[in-house]
Chain A
Amino acid sequence: MNVAAHAWHWSERLGRSAAAAVTELGYIAALLAESVWWIAVGRRHRQPVRIAPVLAEMMEIGVHAVPICALLLFTVGLMLAIQGLHTLETFGAQTKLVPLVALSITREFAPLIVGILVAGRSGSALAARIGTMQVSQEIDALRVIGINPVRYLVAPSLVAMLIMLPVLTVLADFVGVAGAAVYGAPRLDIDYAVFGAQTLEALEAGDVLQGVAKAAIFALLIALIACSTGFAVTGGAEGVGRAATRAVVVSISSVVVADMAFTFVLTR
């Protein structure tokens, strides 16, 4: 192939990928709108978003993620204290460790780590579940029974994520600061209680809220990307595997990018 043909080939591929991306964005927006619609007026149309599946999803997405989430944030807190103290010592500013840790964890690390964790655990599971149902015609079966798949499958997961990600993030705030205190308090020669009190002093409500708001945005991203990837599955078991992988990769990437964008806007 000559250069012109190569260029043509690549520009065509680029165009197709761009068109596919726009299509998917539109699909995700439609999914969100439809979910909100069912949550708002489903009951009036005798298609309510039921509480039981929402609670089941909250258990799976939130409660079952607590141990691993606590472990990760404790470790991150510890790491922040070690690294922070090491860096601050060069300026002789060790006393600034507490505000450094408190702000980093509540504004950045807690929501980000929780987002990545939930994307990995529940995003892939959701995409695989919906993908499997798509492949085995269970989605078609729902439709012909007169059960809207978005109302039945997407809305409960979306609600559960929107509740549990912020909750996990607040929990992560506590555990992260505890992790930092375990290393930091003895090195600063202060009591754990004093470390805690100084943390509260360093924080404003807005810092915690910023983290919680981020977590809510991540919840939307993860749930919608996972569901739209699941619905798009074709090609049997292999397609389901690909969808699970893709859901994780795309949702983690979008969580990281959204985090940066959010931080940029809020720190201006």
Chain B
Amino acid sequence: MSFLSLTDRDREEMLAAIGVASVDELFREIPEGVRFQGELDLEPALSELELVAHLEQLAARNMDTGRELSFLGAGIYDHYVPAAVDAVLARGELLTAYTPYQAEMSQGVLQAIFEYQTAICELTGMDVSNASGYDGTTVAADACYVAKHVTGRARVVLAETVNPQVRQVVKTYAPGFGLEVVEVPHRDGVTDPDELGAAAGEAACVIFQQPNFFGCLEPAPDLAAAANDAGALPIAHVDPVSLGVLEAPGEYGCALAIGEGQGAGNYQSYGGPHYGFIAARSEYVRRMPGRIVGETTDIEGRRAYVLTLQTREQHIRREKATSNITTNQTLLALAGLVHLSWLGPQGLREQAETCMALAEHAKERVGLPLLFPDQTTFKEFAIRVGRPAEDAIRAARARGVHPGYALKRDYAGMEDALLVCLTEKRTPADIDRLAEALAA
């Protein structure tokens, strides 16, 4: 199969117009020594039918959450994606557009981004959002870069209760940014504000997560206050679904709010593509990374949208840009916008409450000791299974249930701990199966 339109006759006419005898001649300026000889060692071309059959075979060898009853979360969630999201994303104009450099050709996608920015600001209580970042990990690195330039400080403080993948990405970026990374350990599953404040003394920013990686509710206002007192920018990493019931970071003094958008509108997709969001108070707008859409008018005074504040960006500022980002995740952010519009404020709150109620029910029904019994949790909680976590996972999976994530992969001393996640897609009957599988 190929997607080419040129016929032999087209080729002849085109070569004649160019004034060369063959297609090979078009490559004559490539030095002989660097030309590839022979044929690429790739498997033969497939027809569309063969291709579908091949990929169906590969897909069938994955245990997706339709085949295995899953309680996996830990940053990526099996939330329901409404049919309206699929319908909008199937619109070819939106699917196959490039970045909206030419505003007159792109009013639809520009307006959608503006509406997305509004939704993110409403969720987080911030003044400005960009058009999206790659995912919930890279926006944390982006936020550190903002903080470094705003404060002139060279240290980043991470609560140990922040998603380990987020922390790993920040640590990978930090040397290039000239930043040192300090981590603050958890105390009984949450972060101690005094300890965080002490570490924040010379820091550009402090990143904490609400709800945190263990599902526990952090004393977020106290953490933000501790960072502010130390002159470090408080940055909250938040789950958009939780913001139906939990306070917006902008309301408790955060400078920036970031997060993984996947749970609002994107499928799990083995880790991507998804969208990360980054939003800030207005004073930091000129340090924001990536695309931002603003409202304006056309020459006739009609409302119009356009990429704006581009003097921050790499194609104008080059080595002085606030970020190197060009491609972002607009299509996935659009899915987020459709999803949040489908939910509305009432739907978002109901969804959050349903997850929370199911999680609370699961804690009791499973009946295993909680790792952090004194904490309020959102849709995830950690339990002790009384044996190596991988053994419990293996035994449960043999019964068609994936019971959760083994915390020992990231935390010392949690050999028998399992992080269990409940979304609105699970039912009390599913929870019964979980309890039975964990008892096996």
A interacts with B? no
Residues of A within 8 A of B (CB): none
